[in-house]
Amino acid sequence: MIDSPVPLGSCGRVTIHTHFLPVAKAHTVLTGRTIILGVTGSIAAYKAADITSRLTELGAKVFPVMTAEACRFIQPLTLQVLSRNPVASDLWKEGEGWQPGHIELADQADLLLVAPATAHCLALFAQGLAPDLLSSIHLATPAPVMLAPAMNGKMLAHAATQANLETLRARGYHFIEPDAGMLACGYEGQGKLAAVDTIVQSVKDFFANT
């Protein structure tokens, strides 16, 4: 509160009491939504930091889940700070600390978003395999699944990857198509992770239509 004396000519002064109230965050379609953000072992994993930050700013509760390979590209602490939630990465450490178990997390989710999703991740999901925490959550959650693939263009075009994509699309999974451009491997072509703006807008559109 600030006391502001305002002169009133010969009649003296009156003090106006000005109160500054905290500005509430604007309500968005993501406010209160629980999103599990899966991050897999692609060079594009560093973009998960921006995705986490943007979704959190829009009011979503983001719970990052990283594969062991993803942790080689970006530190879990980065996503923990940006999401303000614990980062899960090891299926065998659930009993330690304060992070929720994978079944509890799977039950709470409104969306499982995997960005980036590697060819390995797509294969695990298509075949229903669960060797790690992220793929276990995938099998356990009733939430819709949204995938943003990122990989070498030749891997993307391979018949096995295309078959896995077809299987996942047939299950009703949502896809954020990769961009074309210069890839980390030095080749130019399809397979680049979609822009962060595109990913965030896709999530907003999904919740706006559900």
Is residue 71 annotated as part of the catalytic site, yes or no?
A: no
Count Cβ atoms below 10 Å from residue 166 Cβ, excluding itself.
10
Ordered DSSP codes for 86-150: PPB--GGGTTSTTPPPHHHHHHH-SEEEEEEE-HHHHHHHHHT--SSHHHHHHHH--S-EEEEE-
The single residue of 11, 71, 121, 185 carrying the catalytic annotation is: 185
Rounded to whole angstroms, the Cα distance separating 73 from 149 reads: 16
Maximal C-alpha separation, the chain? 89
- Which residues are tagged catalytic? 185
